[in-house]
Chain A
Amino acid sequence: DAGITQSPRHKVTETGTPVTLRCHQTENHRYMYWYRQDPGHGLRLIHYSYGVKDTDKGEVSDGYSVSRSKTEDFLLTLESATSSQTSVYFCAIRDSSYNEQFFGPGTRLTVL
């Protein structure tokens, strides 16, 4: 599993509340990514990080912010959750040794 964990694994929340998802890695990889997975859209990149405090936007970044204060943790925050943000969220890391991305187990978020 490349040492990637996500928490929580499941969350139900209400519209308008803030939500933070955590991605944790144990192998000191520089690049980390947040995707959302939706039927008919596949995986879409939300934000990514290329080092501590270095982040950039992906294709669907509106309504999301991220932070990376240490190498092992990459946080995704929904400032004010909306029903359109109901999705499965995957974190990934890039292993430069193999030039491939490894994925976490996913977080299923439901916004009511």
Chain B
Amino acid sequence: AQRVTQPEKLLSVFKGAPVELKCNYSYSGSPELFWYVQYSRQRLQLLLRHISRESIKGFTADLNKGETSFHLKKPFAQEEDSAMYYCALKMDSSYKLIFGSGTRLLVRP
């Protein structure tokens, strides 16, 4: 079955440290991967998608089909990055998203 796995429930780092939030997926077709972010008491918003290959707020993510991963990285974490992060998978020919269980990022001063 198609699945998205985010192995870390909580990731705590100090300000200025590098951050990597892990995301692995299981899907044999052509996936489209997304990262969504939810700041405290706000709605989910799209952070980035693999197709656009863009960098948003200093975050990047590369789709590795060999390892079926889409890890989210940032070289220097900021306190305002503290939030809940969700990885999501869209299968081809589907209009639904499959979400991982989320990782809470806490950036300490």
Complex Cα spacing A50 to B94, Å: 11
Binds B, one of A20-28, A65-73, A102-110: A102-110
B contact residues, range? 10 to 19
With known contacts A40-B101, A42-B102, A50–B95 Cβ distance under 8 A:
yes
Is the contact region of chain A dominated by helix, strand, or loop, or is it mixed?
A: strand
Among A41, A99, A100, A105, the one with the most B-chain Cβ atoms within 10 Å of its Cβ is A100
Is there a chain B Cβ closer than 8 Å to A62's Cβ? Answer: no
Type the 1/0 row for A1-39, where 1 means its CB is closer than 8 Å to any CB of B: 100000000000000000000000000000101010000
Residue of A with least CB distance to B42: A105
A74 / chain B contacts, CB cutoff of 8 Å? none
- A94-B95 in contact (CB<8A): yes
- B99-A44 in contact (CB<8A): yes
B96 / chain A contacts, CB cutoff of 8 Å? 33, 45, 48, 58
Complex Cα spacing A99 to B88, Å: 13
Q: Which positions in B face A, CB cutoff 8 Å?
A: 6, 9, 32, 34, 42-46, 49, 86, 95-102
Q: Which positions in A face B, CB cutoff 8 Å?
A: 1, 31, 33, 35, 40-45, 48, 50, 58, 90, 94, 99-106
Listed from nearest, the 6 A-B pairs whose CB atoms lie closest are A42-B101, A43-B99, A103-B44, A42-B99, A42-B102, A103-B43
